[in-house]
Amino acid sequence: MVNQKGGVGKTTTAVNLAAGLGLADRKTLLVDLDPQGNATTGLGITKDPSTRTIYHVLLEGIPIAEAIQSTEIAALKVVPSAIDLVGAEVELVTMQDRERTLKRALEPIRHEFGHVVIDCPPSLGLLTLNALAAANTALVPLQCEYYAMEGLAHILKTIGLVRDQLNPALHVEGIVLTMFDGRTSLAAQVKAEVQKHLGGQILTTIIPRNIRLTEAPSHGKPIMLYDLRSPGAIAYLELTKEVLTHGE
């Protein structure tokens, strides 16, 4: 789940897509690669200094299996993040083959999960490069606002460079339009513009602006467990179906 711009619904999409996959009985692992740790708390995992996190996996070499935690959804597990991951960008610089550190860490457990969802930080630094080097597909959440479009070409170019130089298997799963407010003409204009230029890459599901989606993380729950009948829950269940259909 990648976009160098913050506030585009990346973590919300990572948490709720992972939850949707888990509820569909697909064994899913969510890796929180963002130092803010919002995907961690959004799944009800308490931040505790003694908890093993993705930082310990990447920088201290502990097996990733030791950092995996359970969630309310039986088929969904999470590797939590913590604020000490902020220093990882600097610490990774000195490591050999640093862009593939996450890929190597995931290899021993990949066969255990049908899906591994990686929530990237809002930047194009070494953590995001690690995610793209480890992934098969990149899903790009795009907020339906003018400034969000400006960085889209940049992230698509970065994905192309990673595919050419680090990970030939990487491709774009699609662009998912988020925070869509049908009452504003700007949202409709952004949608029309993106579909005009990147029609084949736009996913059918559109995620609406929805107050229940913004409330759910404060309760440590994905939207399906917080309010299953809300427009946000329905949209993310549709997105889950669409992603599963792509995969099959």
pLDDT of residue 124: 87
DSSP annotation of 118 reads E
Q: What is the pLDDT of residues 118-176, one digit of tens each?
A: 999 998 899 999 999 999 999 999 987 766 677 788 888 999 999 999 999 999 999 99
- 146, 203, 196, 189: which is closest to 1 by C-alpha? 203
The residues near 165 (Cβ < 8 Å, ≥ 6 apart) are none
Mean pLDDT of all residues in 76-94: 90
- 215, 243, 223: which is closest to 15 by C-alpha? 223
Instruction: Tell me: pLDDT of 58 over 90.
Output: yes
Beta bridge partners of 17: none
The H or E element spanning position 180 is: strand 171-180
pLDDT category at 248 given cuts 50, 70, 90 is: low
Mean pLDDT of all residues in 232-239: 97
pLDDT category at 87 given cuts 50, 70, 90 is: confident
Q: What is the pLDDT of residues 14-53, one digit of tens each?
A: 999 999 999 999 999 999 999 999 999 999 998 888 899 9
C-alpha pair distances (Å), 35 with each of 44, 121, 176, 221: 16, 7, 23, 19
